[in-house]
Amino acid sequence: MKLYHYVHCPYCIRVRMGLGALKLSYESIVLAYDDESTPNRLTGKKMLPIVDYGNGKIQNESLDILKSVDTQDTLSWGLLGQNTEIETLLTLLSDPVHSLCMPYWVWTPEFNPQSRKYFQTKKELKRGSFKNLIKNKEMHLAKLESLINLEIEPHLIAFYKSPKFTILDIMLAAQLWGMYVFPEFQFSEKVHQYLQNIKIITQFDYHQDFWQ
Ligand SMILES: N[C@@H](CCC(=O)N[C@@H](CS)C(=O)NCC(=O)O)C(=O)O
């Protein structure tokens, strides 16, 4: 199985974490962000993650991919149906996390000068200049910390709303992970321990493809 992904992308991280938790091996292919032709050829749209199962089946949509490979319901999919708040929480987190991380993600080894320019131009159209995002970092950090304190920490009973690791943890951890790239940001001890536990369960290593 081949996974086409971007290192920074939370939806791609979901799939990497899920495959790791399910102990499924795969070939990791990190695409340059400005490569439009590969995803278009595979699925007709420029959107990652994409999994090519090698038998003619090619799939995108992170949750659809994980549902297909989790044949034993190891990730407890029923919880996702019962828990509509997770989608609301992820939407609320997405704004501060993306606003803070995008200006730094572009300087990680995933990007080259061309893909960096492509990413920055595309994202600035939606969010305003990276310079302004960082000028306003205190506002974004305050939003994020309030969500972490009020909506995440109180619900960590070992895992998010569950004593057992589930798909909800993959969704939440994948969204939060980017903050490890933001300079000087520190998760609270409890959230950091939670994320580090998930790192072990999912055998996740953010930049592993670049340091081999
Ligand atoms: N609903 C999709 C969302 C995937 C998605 O939004 N991927 C983004 C990266 S985070 C993407 O490929 N964007 C391409 C672009 O904007 O050029 C999923 O869950 O897989």
Domain boundaries, the chain: 2-73, 78-203
Q: What is the pLDDT of residue 161?
A: 94
Q: Report the distance separating Cα 202 and Cα 50, nearest Å.
A: 19
The residue type found at 12 is C
- Torsion angle, CA of 57/63/67/72, rounded to 10 degrees? 140
Ligand 1 center from residue 195 Cα (angstroms): 22
Instruction: Give me the residues paired with residue 156 across strands.
Output: 160
CATH fold of the domain at 2-73: Glutaredoxin (3.40.30)
pLDDT, the chain, mean = 96
Residue 178 Cβ < 6 Å to ligand 1 = no
Ligand 1 center from residue 9 Cα (angstroms): 7
Residue 24 has pLDDT above 90, yes or no: yes
Q: Report the distance separating Cα 53 and Cα 2, nearest Å.
A: 6
Q: What is the pLDDT of residue 10?
A: 98
Q: Pick 78-203's CATH classification: 1.25.40, 1.20.1050, 3.40.109, 2.60.40.
A: 1.20.1050
Nearest-CA residue for atom 13 of ligand 1: 47
78-203 and 2-73 share a CATH fold: no
Work out the pLDDT band at 83, boundaries 50, 70, 90: confident
Q: What is the pLDDT of residue 81?
A: 86
Q: What is the pLDDT of residue 212?
A: 76
